Chain A
């Protein structure tokens, strides 16, 4: 049997006495979109940080296609196919939109340590970056600095950077948070476009339940750092533990 695209085994992190992520064992198969839901402070972003390497696990392992990545650095995990779009926009503010995407394209192409050629001479990389900007509908803003972009456009660029890395694992951390209503469909279409590729593994942290329902093949629920529910969307949303732990607050 094939190893799952991504797996965490008893993944745990402790900050002093507080256990932020508590023995989360879960595997993610290629070709599926898993939504991760849970109330604020449930450990969703921390779980992402453990998977992509920004935080080091206190205990437990992260496996990518069966290979143990727990000891690897963030950049090494990126080169092995881990892609992440951050919750708080996290870009290069004084560089242009095109330069931001180009940096991601160039990381994928592995030419970062090229000292002698001209940045502007690598036509293939420039074309790839342009194509990526077309996909997120930012092409006409390519020469604007990131600092001058609207919040919604910055979110789109955040996604473009992840796409440009051509990862196997796509981690979206609340991609539509703070976006205006008319900008949300662009992001949803993008996620659907990735989903259409049969080998993409998508993890999505999202609060909007309609978004989750329309996209997810599976939902897992984190509560106080623990995995409390896991299954098909309809089943999980209806389960009492979710109603109490998460949705119950909204209803009450």
Chain B
């Protein structure tokens, strides 16, 4: 049963299995285990970024395609929700239309980018995706009437998802079931489902062809696989997943703007998550996303404590000042890439052999 759910792709390491179990339990019980709006926000972000990083790994780790247009698809999902909810109404129907149109737009763009440019060498493909993504970001901020420009769009969500909504009169387990919590569980279960779907894709006959293409494109073609078709299908699937991740994030934030969806900083974040976790394994995307988002949100807090604890010692308090958090984040990443070239998952699995 579990084997089937995970598509036969077991963690293959006790430590990795345990860590994944902890992540799953923590995310599933987040509203009860870590009440408070900030921690729930972090949990929701982790869910969405697991999907986003996993969908990027489908391209980078499995197929060997370097694309910088991933945040564009993520943004299309976000703007799909934003434009529909803002422009039509705060209803489930509008949400459905928004998601459907966003998926359609992503599909068309992914096919066009795929067919036009997957024949060229990897570096040129990366450049083309960068150009398209930049053009899209400019477009999104220029079309103020539709997208809200640089300010983005805030919008309402359906009644049952609003913070003021109460499912029951009485609290459950000491926590009242709010619309916010229902939103979280929509995000959580959708992310879980999307992750399991991705796991199925990479462990299907198709998934193995993608790996073959990554390993030796020339031979994959000689074996009778049309490489361009496989790469394009992989791009489309990955784009669709990113679009859905964007829609989930938009639903959660009730706001969509260039900074939360299209910014190049997010692209770099996703890239780092995949590389740190371990390319070519979707569990790597999970660990990468968890570690990255936790560090982004809590490193400053930890540093403030350390800085206070070391006051009196020369230099250390200054180095550990919360404002230096990006420096330490950078050092952590350089160290992790240096010591775990196959990512954390690769390291954990190798340790068992």
Contacting B226 at CB < 8 Å: which of A75, A94, A108, A161?
Answer: A75
Offer 6 A-B interface pairs, CB within 8 angstroms, sorted by A. A54-B222, A75-B227, A95-B212, A99-B208, A103-B209, A113-B233
Q: Is the CB of A119 within 8 A of B208?
A: yes
CB neighbours of A115 from chain B (8 A): 200-201, 204, 206-207, 237
Contacting A119 at CB < 8 Å: which of B207, B215, B222, B226?
Answer: B207
**What CA separation (Å) do A84 and B7 show in the bound complex?**
33
Q: Is the CB of A118 within 8 A of B233?
A: no
Q: Does A116 count as interface, using CB distance less than 8 angstroms? A: yes
User: Which positions 73-113 of chain B face chain A at CB distance < 8 Å?
Assistant: none
Interface string of A54-82 (1 = CB under 8 A from B): 10000000000000000001111011000
Given A99-B208, A117-B205, A120-B8, are A93 and B225 neighbors across the interface (CB < 8 Å)? no
Listed from nearest, the 8 A-B pairs whose CB atoms lie closest are A78-B224, A92-B215, A107-B224, A114-B205, A115-B206, A107-B223, A75-B226, A74-B221
Q: Of all chain B residues, which has the CB nearest A158?
A: B219
Q: Is the CB of B215 within 8 A of A95?
A: yes
CB neighbours of B201 from chain A (8 A): 115
Interface string of B216-238 (1 = CB under 8 A from A): 10111111111101100100010
Contacting B223 at CB < 8 Å: which of A93, A95, A161?
Answer: A161
Q: Does A8 count as interface, using CB distance less than 8 angstroms? A: no
CB neighbours of B117 from chain A (8 A): none
Q: Could you tell me how many residues of chain A have their Cβ less than 8 Å away from some Cβ of chain B?
A: 36
Given A92-B211, A93-B216, A103-B209, are A119 and B204 neighbors across the interface (CB < 8 Å)? yes
**What CA separation (Å) do A54 and B222 show in the bound complex?**
8
**What CA separation (Å) do A166 and B296 show in the bound complex?**
54
**What CA separation (Å) do A102 and B207 show in the bound complex?**
13
CB neighbours of A54 from chain B (8 A): 218, 222
**What CA separation (Å) do A37 and B207 show in the bound complex?**
40
**What CA separation (Å) do A249 and B226 show in the bound complex?**
43
Contacting A78 at CB < 8 Å: which of B204, B206, B222?
Answer: B222
User: Which positions 121-173 of chain A face chain B at CB distance < 8 Å?
Assistant: 122, 161, 165
CB neighbours of B216 from chain A (8 A): 90-93
Q: Is the CB of A75 within 8 A of B224?
A: yes
Q: Is the CB of B8 within 8 A of A112?
A: no
User: Which positions 166-208 of chain B face chain A at CB distance < 8 Å?
Assistant: 200-201, 203-208
Q: Does A106 count as interface, using CB distance less than 8 angstroms? A: yes
Shortest Cβ distance from residue B107 to the other chain A in the assembled complex, whole angstroms: 15
Q: Is the CB of B204 within 8 A of A84?
A: no
CB neighbours of A119 from chain B (8 A): 8, 203-205, 207-208
**What CA separation (Å) do A104 and B212 show in the bound complex?**
10
Q: Does A111 count as interface, using CB distance less than 8 angstroms? A: yes
Contacting A118 at CB < 8 Å: which of B203, B209, B218?
Answer: B203
CB neighbours of A108 from chain B (8 A): 224
CB neighbours of A79 from chain B (8 A): 224
Q: Is the CB of B204 within 8 A of A95?
A: no
CB neighbours of B219 from chain A (8 A): 86, 90-92
Residue of B200, B208, B237 ringed by the most chain A CB atoms within 10 A: B208
Shortest Cβ distance from residue B197 to the other chain A in the assembled complex, whole angstroms: 9
Other than the given A75-B225, A103-B223, A120-B8, 4 more pairs (CB < 8 A) read A75-B222, A106-B209, A108-B224, A112-B225
CB neighbours of B207 from chain A (8 A): 115, 119
**What CA separation (Å) do A122 and B207 show in the bound complex?**
14
Q: Does A201 count as interface, using CB distance less than 8 angstroms? A: no
Q: Does A52 count as interface, using CB distance less than 8 angstroms? A: yes
Q: Is the CB of B205 within 8 A of A112?
A: yes
Q: Of all chain B residues, which has the CB nearest A84?
A: B222
**What CA separation (Å) do A165 and B237 show in the bound complex?**
28
Q: Is the CB of B205 within 8 A of A111?
A: yes
Shortest Cβ distance from residue A41 to the other chain B in the assembled complex, whole angstroms: 22
Q: Of all chain B residues, which has the CB nearest A99?
A: B208
CB neighbours of B223 from chain A (8 A): 75, 78, 103-104, 107, 161, 165
Q: Of all chain A residues, which has the CB nearest B226?
A: A75
Q: Is the CB of A75 within 8 A of B8?
A: no
